[in-house]
Structure 1
């Protein structure tokens, strides 16, 4: 019996050749570096047979038990992660090298760091009023530098809180802030935040332009690192606060505080400090002068940031929020800009090159400047359209020639052209006092009679504005009623050159044509010089140089200029000044300026209206002040019959009332006090008193009654007239 082996009687499964799994990633000798060479190709027939051989059938599953499916083997990730890290490192290294190259290239465009210096701050000129209050500031920075140690502690803290919270910990670049700004800008898909530190902002302001380019940004970073290396944090903050722009033309925290709050930065409140700090983000849009509500809302964010960073207490924040900063209403008038510009025009002559910040004390009285500005603006707002007048100018002097108020136009914000100093316009009849003074100096008197009748000179036929004639009239009446024919006759009698010499002697600096038409004021003059030329009438014959600068001092208190009070001296005999005053008081009593209203004060003056009503003037004075008013249009277009008798007189009256409040009453040189007009009466020499109601308002007045006939007696000498009129030596004539 044949013994069965161990496996006899059992079904034997066919054994197939081992097949390589598709998921087997084990290396064989052929995959290894330096492994055995591949075996020699089998005979072609074998290879052909193998090619023709169909793929083997998978083994049949065993009965009674299912075989689990084969699990695929996972690919090992070690080499992939290694390559990723490796290439990331390589790319990062190249990026750093590229960035370093860009930084080096941009840095090469800057001056050598060893020669780099903080640019010298441009000098600031602070213009003060006569009482020491700031009128305006001028200069590229617009305000003096204030050391950080002199500022309230919460002022610099406000800037750090809202602009650069990590200012005292970063090295000039704030990576955290930059990353946050980058994420914000990417998620919002627009530029909403900037990552610049205070140091970067300072670098931009000191050395770079405002253009937004990658090149400038890189240079800004390089310069910020240099600033951090060279200066302390407080020094950087000091430079920043005194140079950053705050809107409305204010550079530096001092200029901004003066511009918006009418006070020094040393005195600002917490609410005001928060508003200033909030402005630098968008100074043009948030300037309180144009967007007070927006500036207050931004200030509230600054206060919240300061509270969150424990820079202020909750009570301090609450108090500041309850009373937000307000724009100063007690600041200097807008027209102060005309004064400041005129001051700057003179600085080079008085001081030369400025050694640094300087302070200029002027002669301007803020109350009078404000009154003059309001009077001009209110009158033009009420009647400008009716009379076709668009502009005006005003100058007020004291009897020493000091400028007390100067208005160069209706609005300095709209036009900086100074019509009081720079513009030249025809004065019309306001020039006639120089003709009459010349006539007096040639032997005539206020009682001298001349014919008011048609005049013809080589085809030129000047007429009175009313086109009628009064026959023989005294010089007093002719000047009060502004009779053109008499003025022409006097000019021809004394000679145009003599009239020009008189006007120049009294203070007219503009070129004057010595021809007969000068009798009607055809040569152009400025408001300032016409006011100064009238001043000798008010002070008894002393010439003045109109001036606005009293002292100039440097930042350390050194006096760079002090007005010495020098002037041309006496330019008119006191007796002639008295005669002219007697004549020109009649302009306000019975003449073209009878609408002038200054109760209790003796006043004189002269109206003027140029051809076609292009210019309207009134220059009037008391023993204290001289005020000249001009109205017209910049393009010299005719007005709608605006004359010196209406709007200029109205403006003059308002300003002079303010100027003479609480001022001791003084008489004009010559002692002309009598009973009558406004408490101070004015008699007409050689004739009867003419009541104001007898004179028309809108045109040069006509004479009521007959003019007195000339007296047949010996000629009146100057000495005899003065004795009879002012010393009681005879009947006043």
Structure 2
């Protein structure tokens, strides 16, 4: 053991050790823990692990750089598209064509045609019900996306694939912004010089391809940056086609409901929003029931998305939107279609301007014609009949006051039987035969023998016309022959004065169709339209001058005071002498007062007219006039099926009477411009006040019979002749 040194050694100072400071409660020193290094794997596994790690790092570096480059390129494209977008105001009216507003004779609007634009509206100025209905139907996330909805696109692709279509066929998943991009054709305006029609241009704007969809998406993003959400919605509400020729919400609201877009109800707003899916098919003017069914779906969507309370939705479902009376009337019907077809195409069907056309239409008379037709079909025609009818009402100068082209009157673009249907005229043609004779100096009291009569037609053999009753009445006056629509006297007179003259008189009175060359010309074997025949009768009423039926009075560009063009019709050159015309009116008055048209009488008025029924009763006519108006009526089947038990003196005359009686309500009893006949130029005249008809001698003592026998014997002048039984009662 070694003892401690208690005493320091002498001669050497002892160094004092510094005293340790006591540290009370000292915090422990934290040292950074070193991450244990993972041992590197060696061998083959380590080698392949290193390669995979390197490849992944390389892919990541390439991917984010490529993504950054793509984003940068897309941003540049969006920025460029942003700079090309025009001001908001330039996008609100996107019609390629102009509109045509049709006014009646009093200056009241009765129809629209072309691309109607009611005026600019905004998302704030339209009814909130319309705005909400559009969003609920077309794009419920409109206010939450940036122009493109990935969720919507994915959903549309899934639905398309599940239904067996291509991913871009069918549902598109387009947002309202994307639909606006399509409406403005991605900023590509129509260029006529590009060799593409306007229809082809519109189709190209709506085609779906991957490239087009990508550009549409970028354009939509640019729009979202350029315009506010409400601005985009405003463009949509102004440019979208909503059926019936209406572009934009304002035009559609006026067109269908007769009110501004700011005042539509939930049911009306739902109907307008529903039209956006298929505006032509769902248009209420085409199919109101289908349009209401679609609106019911929109109302349900509005309720589900909180735009309507349950009470409001129930009320809208129970009270669906209806076309206003004004909207129904403004379909314009057959008259509007006819006026549009008679005007210059570049100001009517293909106008790029907004045009106003003042017409001859009298809406009171138009209503009278529609009601007269409806009354007869409801009360006198068997239920389920497919027979059709047409009516034309005009003034003596050819101004058309009303027109019905078929039983469905609230239509647009339908087949117009008043102006487009060429039908045989039957005995309605006979007044032109007598007009030619009277103009040559014959008297209504001249006698002609109604007896068996035949003509030899070169190449066809013998032709023997017969009367409707298969009876003969001996010597009769021209008046009596027309009054009872006898066929044999009509053919004899036509052969006497010459078919060429009869054809010329009919043509100059306005019958433009090709006329038959044979002797059956006198019996109405030729075809004509109702408007031509009615216009020709107007020539008889006005004293023997030709008439061109017309409906257009003047055409003016919207905003201009001076019209660009005036009327294209009216009274033309004289065809027959005035005395002859007035005597013919006298003869035609007897048709109604005593003859085959007696059912046309009403109200104690002086009326004149003529019935007509064609061979096999395929067509039935009644055309007649008062001192104020001329009205023509045709009845038949579109497929030429014979009418059953109908002649011109039956149902067509009833339609004529029901129409004319309504037309003349409140009008004074004006006399017809007729002239009593001169003394007979032949053997004598029918004894006044007697029902007996003098029996002519078979040698033919009248001038007409004698001329026929002297010149033609038993042969005719023509070459062909249709059936001998044309004519009517």
1:656 aligns with 2:652: no
Q: 1:528: which partner in 2?
A: 531
TM-score for both structures, normalised by structure 2:
0.71
In structure 1, C-alpha distance between the alignment counterparts of 2:68 and 2:318, rounded to whole Å: 51
Q: 1:699: which partner in 2?
A: none
1:460 aligns with 2:456: no
SS at match of 1:706: coil
Structure 1 residue 530, shift from structure 2 partner = 0.4
Contact 1:333 1:373 (8 Å CA) reproduced = no
1:586 aligns with 2:590: yes
Structure 1 residue 476, shift from structure 2 partner = 0.8
Deviations 1:619-652 (A, max 9, x none): 0111111111112233334333432111211111
Structure-2 change in CA distance of 1:121 and 1:453 (3 Å): same
Q: Which moved more, 1:192-201 or 1:379-388?
A: 379-388
SS at match of 1:551: strand
In structure 2, C-alpha distance between the alignment counterparts of 1:427 and 1:213, rounded to whole Å: 57
Contact 1:134 1:332 (8 Å CA) reproduced = no
Deviations 1:295-348 (A, max 9, x none): 44345457658975xxx9999999978865333345445984322322222222
Structure-2 change in CA distance of 1:301 and 1:281 (3 Å): farther
Matches within 5 A, 1:266-305: 268-269=264-265, 271-281=267-277, 283=279, 287-288=283-284, 289-291=288-290, 293-298=292-297, 300=299
Contact 1:507 1:544 (8 Å CA) reproduced = yes
Structure-2 change in CA distance of 1:180 and 1:243 (3 Å): closer
Structure-2 change in CA distance of 1:216 and 1:479 (3 Å): same
Match of 1:356 among 344, 353, 357: 353
Match of 2:174 among 176, 183, 196: 196
Structure 1 residue 373, shift from structure 2 partner = 3.4
Contact 2:439 2:576 (8 Å CA) reproduced = no
Contact 1:551 1:561 (8 Å CA) reproduced = yes
Structure-2 change in CA distance of 1:155 and 1:137 (3 Å): farther
Matches within 5 A, 1:67-216: 121-139=96-114, 141=115, 143-148=116-121, 152=126, 154=128, 157-158=131-132, 161-162=135-136, 163-164=138-139, 172-173=147-148, 175=149, 178-179=150-151, 182=154, 195-207=173-185, 208-216=204-212
Structure 2: which 5+ residue stretches go unaligned?
A: 1-35, 47-51, 164-169, 186-203, 457-461, 677-684, 705-729
Structure 1 residue 279, shift from structure 2 partner = 3.5
Contact 1:335 1:411 (8 Å CA) reproduced = no
Please say which structure displays the higher CA radius of gyration.
Answer: 1
Contact 2:283 2:291 (8 Å CA) reproduced = yes
Contact 2:300 2:313 (8 Å CA) reproduced = no
Matches within 5 A, 1:475-490: 475-490=478-493
In structure 2, C-alpha distance between the alignment counterparts of 1:147 and 1:227, rounded to whole Å: 19
In structure 1, C-alpha distance between the alignment counterparts of 2:556 and 2:376, rounded to whole Å: 38
1:406 aligns with 2:396: no
Structure-2 change in CA distance of 1:168 and 1:599 (3 Å): same
Q: 1:419: which partner in 2?
A: 417
In structure 2, C-alpha distance between the alignment counterparts of 1:382 and 1:185, rounded to whole Å: 56
Q: Which moved more, 1:437-446 or 1:542-551?
A: 542-551
Number of residue-to-residue matches in the alignment:
611
Contact 1:539 1:668 (8 Å CA) reproduced = no
Structure-2 change in CA distance of 1:290 and 1:209 (3 Å): farther
Match of 1:373 among 370, 373, 381: 370
In structure 2, C-alpha distance between the alignment counterparts of 1:298 and 1:387, rounded to whole Å: 33
Structure 1 residue 521, shift from structure 2 partner = 1.1
Q: 1:687: which partner in 2?
A: 687
In structure 1, C-alpha distance between the alignment counterparts of 2:218 and 2:525, rounded to whole Å: 65
Structure-2 change in CA distance of 1:251 and 1:493 (3 Å): same
Contact 1:609 1:615 (8 Å CA) reproduced = yes
In structure 1, C-alpha distance between the alignment counterparts of 2:273 and 2:306, rounded to whole Å: 15
SS at match of 1:203: helix
In structure 2, C-alpha distance between the alignment counterparts of 1:566 and 1:377, rounded to whole Å: 30
Structure 1 residue 513, shift from structure 2 partner = 3.6
